[in-house]
Structure 1
Amino acid sequence: MNNSILTCFTTMTLSMLAASSVNAATMDPLRSIQHRWAQCQYKIKDSDTQEACFEHLIKDNQQATAQAPQRSDLKVWLAINNASLAGAKGGLGALSYVKKAKALLEEVIKTDPTTLNGSAYTTLGSLYYKVPGWPIGFGDDDMAETMLKKALAINPQGIDPNYFYGDFLVDQGKDQQAIAYFKRAQQAPARADRPLADQERQKEISKKLKQLEQ
């Protein structure tokens, strides 16, 4: 695609996404960030535009966190957005972002571990099994299991801790155990303020179960 056309397309897309955050100026910044994350993660298919979407979101998340440094929930989401940007970028260039995410999550776990129903444990656990191990990264399957089990202890019926623990078990070759957690995630209570995230996560769960139950 011509660079000027791509730049124009990216700018238009990001403007549309910003406009789609209803009453973003008066909305609690956490709700706006969660809404925009779902748009970046699930609605954008072009990789360059998705990276730009997460980069813009991280800047706004950083600003919101600086204005309310006592809010651990905004720190968790700053970590999630850095991890999501790393996923969009891929390769060695992603490592700096996952390291930022790790540091933020460890800070929250140290000061306010039950924030957002233990989401810091869920996110950090997912990073531990997805990131390469030493000497490239900090990946560690034992730490992943420890973090994910702590998340489940705080939020045993939650969609994300059950989904990611199931995904971890698949990564460990424990497919039958994973099925039970995916089914529990499938039955998780809907989150009224995060309909798009729930809808897309349920699609991922259904796909995983279909693969495992064949």
Structure 2
Amino acid sequence: MKKIFCCLLLGALSPAVWALDAADQQRLTGIQQSWAHIQYELPADQRAGAFEQLATQATGFTQDRQSVAEAWIWSGIVTSSWAGAQGGLGALSKVKVAKADLEKALSLDPNALQGSAYTSLAALYDRVPGWPIGFGDSDKAEQLLKQALQLNPNGIDSLYFWGDHLYRQKRYTQAKETLQKALLAEPRPGRETADGGRRKEIEALLLDVNKKLD
């Protein structure tokens, strides 16, 4: 639980889909940058409290803009990160909230943020315990990750989580190839902290993969 973190045409054509305006984009960027600061720059013992505060902001975004898929995606990401920072079985209730947020995003627009809802929801299915404790399901995770990769085949996050999934499934050669590709992903403007932190995670996972291949 310490590393916690889902149609296409139907969502794209739905009249409920709203484009981000300038104010929405500014709000979204603020949440993204705050998340990266907490996740990658704060000491571990300060993250749960910081994520709790950020979750309030993210939830407020969804309340104000209920038809904006991006708001629901980031509410799900922040809540799942809060659960991961908290750890333990007590985090399961937050994970279920995050799952619902991401499913809401998919119902609005599965293409939003290049399929980030698929990636984030897959990470939950991969990392949450299975029945009877939680809803973890590696087969469901793989299905979602493949959908994410169809939308964003060269993204650092989609490739990282696919590589992590392959590692968990002991498909080490494929995991290595995927993670090496992830390190070549194009930088995301305004997401420098997130990109830097993710690359460190990829490099650490590659070390583990290489140990399995030795």
TM-score for the superposition, normalised by structure 2: 0.85
Instruction: Provide the C-alpha distance between the structure 1 equivalents of 2:25 and 2:147, rounded to a whole number of angstroms.
Output: 31
In structure 1, the partner of 2:43 is: 45
Instruction: Provide the C-alpha distance between the structure 1 equivalents of 2:58 and 2:146, rounded to a whole number of angstroms.
Output: 28
State whether structure 2 residue 124 is matched by structure 1 residue 124. Answer: no
Within the candidate set 202, 205, 209, 2:199 is matched to 202
In structure 1, the partner of 2:149 is: 152
Instruction: Provide the C-alpha distance between the structure 2 equivalents of 1:100 and 1:26, rounded to a whole number of angstroms.
Output: 22
Instruction: Provide the C-alpha distance between the structure 2 equivalents of 1:26 and 1:69, rounded to a whole number of angstroms.
Output: 12
Within the candidate set 51, 56, 61, 1:59 is matched to 56
Deviation at 1:212, TM superposition (A): 2.2
State whether structure 2 residue 28 is matched by structure 1 residue 30. Answer: yes
Instruction: Provide the C-alpha distance between the structure 1 equivalents of 2:77 and 2:24, rounded to a whole number of angstroms.
Output: 23
DSSP 3-state at the match of 2:153: coil
Within the candidate set 76, 85, 88, 1:88 is matched to 85
Instruction: Provide the C-alpha distance between the structure 1 equivalents of 2:104 and 2:158, rounded to a whole number of angstroms.
Output: 19
Instruction: Provide the C-alpha distance between the structure 1 equivalents of 2:66 and 2:108, rounded to a whole number of angstroms.
Output: 12
| Cα contact 2:80–2:94 (8 A) shared by 1 | yes
Deviation at 1:26, TM superposition (A): 10
**Equivalent residues in 2 for 1:15-26 (5 A)?**
none
Within the candidate set 97, 104, 110, 1:107 is matched to 104
Deviations 1:84-118 (A, max 9, x none): 01100111111011100111111111221011000
Instruction: Provide the C-alpha distance between the structure 2 equivalents of 1:26 and 1:171, rounded to a whole number of angstroms.
Output: 36
In structure 1, the partner of 2:72 is: 75
What letter corresponds to residue 119 of structure 2 in structure 1? T
Within the candidate set 182, 188, 193, 2:190 is matched to 193
Cα distance, 1:121–1:27 mapped onto 2, change above 3 Å: closer
Within the candidate set 159, 163, 174, 2:160 is matched to 163
Deviation at 1:211, TM superposition (A): 2.9
In structure 2, the partner of 1:8 is: none
Instruction: Provide the C-alpha distance between the structure 2 equivalents of 1:106 and 1:27, rounded to a whole number of angstroms.
Output: 21
Cα distance, 1:124–1:46 mapped onto 2, change above 3 Å: closer
Pair member with larger Rg: 1
Deviation at 1:213, TM superposition (A): 2.6
Instruction: Provide the C-alpha distance between the structure 1 equivalents of 2:128 and 2:205, rounded to a whole number of angstroms.
Output: 20
| Cα contact 2:188–2:195 (8 A) shared by 1 | yes
TM-score for the superposition, normalised by structure 1: 0.85
Q: Matched residue pairs, number? A: 189
What letter corresponds to residue 28 of structure 1 in structure 2? Q
What letter corresponds to residue 93 of structure 1 in structure 2? G
Instruction: Provide the C-alpha distance between the structure 1 equivalents of 2:138 and 2:108, rounded to a whole number of angstroms.
Output: 24
